[in-house]
Structure 1
């Protein structure tokens, strides 16, 4: 789900859902709730499109990335860990976001974050690629949100943001409970930032 693109509406989202976070300034705090949606995730590598709130899952990471990029990247590394470490892969993912920003195409698919079931981007338990129609602009407001991670509830242990996005993870659905500070990458939520295997909803900022 994307927040409104108008300046006033984006500020309202910040006030309505992140006021406590901004006021508290700490790593964890209590957040307000919003409506939730869920989608099944029954294979190892899933892609969620926040513009449509639809989740599709695939047998391999390259298949998931091909779907996430609308077929523009069909040769992603077999290993999500290799992808996370690859500057070339990051540049290609971000180039798609820049292309979408300069295009009037309404159905562009832009990768916002890749979330991993294990620490250090390990591949054993799968990945969740989060997409939208545009990246994040870095102004500190919420650009995209997922009120419920569905089949990925309480699974995320590491992640990396793309196309300018930082990710804030919430302990419960609807942005409730404890939450993490927004960052662009965390190789180990077990060691840095908490909420390892506890995230149930997210904001992309």
Structure 2
């Protein structure tokens, strides 16, 4: 009887140890998933190719989209200012520039939360209509609350393929308004 109890206790301890290790691995997996989510907070989307690359900070995203010409942008997109907007515009017009920054959309009002910087091989041609368009997919579908214009005006649409209700923004806007808040499914660059 004592031998059976000892064996049962050993099996129970082994099971408990395996459970603790499993929970530890699950927590590590959850932390890795959280790290990946945090890395997705600041993305650069190329509207020519549709490619998307995400970074841990807004500074890293700006450094990537400017090919290292601007490495001291704020850590958070919330702190974008006119000085940085002017520097982004100047960087995209320099010889050898790889990309032109079109605009930035933010998940929260007042330029807060996650940010996506849109870039292309050229800027918008003023006055000739739509230069680029792209659907907002994944977690960005129906999630835009504020935006910053850079080399283009931005036009948010409530359906994919720039269809449905839309609103045009000719300047940076801390709140896109009740009619468009968390409703954009596509964006046009004018």
Give TM-score scaled by structure 2 length.
Answer: 0.74
**Does the aligned pair in 2 maintain the 1:170–1:201 contact within 8 Å?**
yes
SS of corresponding position for 1:95: helix
SS of corresponding position for 1:127: strand
Note the residue ranges of structure 1 that are not aligned, 5 or more in a row.
1-40
Instruction: Give the superposition deviation at 1:119.
Output: 0.4
What is the 5 A alignment of 1:74-113?
74-83=71-80, 86-99=81-94, 103=95, 105=96, 108-113=98-103
1:151 corresponds to: 139
Rg larger in 1 or in 2?
Answer: 2
Higher helix share: 2
1:169 aligns with 2:156: yes
Higher strand share: 2
SS of corresponding position for 1:186: coil
Q: 1:201 aligns with which of 173, 186, 189?
A: 186
Note the residue ranges of structure 2 that are not aligned, 5 or more in a row.
1-35
Give TM-score scaled by structure 1 length.
Answer: 0.69
Instruction: Give the superposition deviation at 1:140.
Output: 3.8
**Does the aligned pair in 2 maintain the 1:108–1:134 contact within 8 Å?**
no
**Does the aligned pair in 1 maintain the 2:136–2:184 contact within 8 Å?**
no
Q: 1:49 aligns with which of 35, 39, 46?
A: 46
Q: Higher relative contact order by CA 8 Å / sep ≥ 6: 1 or 2? A: 1
Instruction: Give the superposition deviation at 1:88.
Output: 1.9
CA deviation vs aligned residue, 1:60-119 (integer Å, no higher than 9, x gap): 111111111122111101231221xx22211110002222xxx5x5x7211110110000
Superposed CA RMSD: 1.8
Instruction: Give the superposition deviation at 1:153.
Output: 0.8
- The 1:181–1:88 alpha-carbon spacing in structure 2 relative to 1, beyond 3 Å, is closer
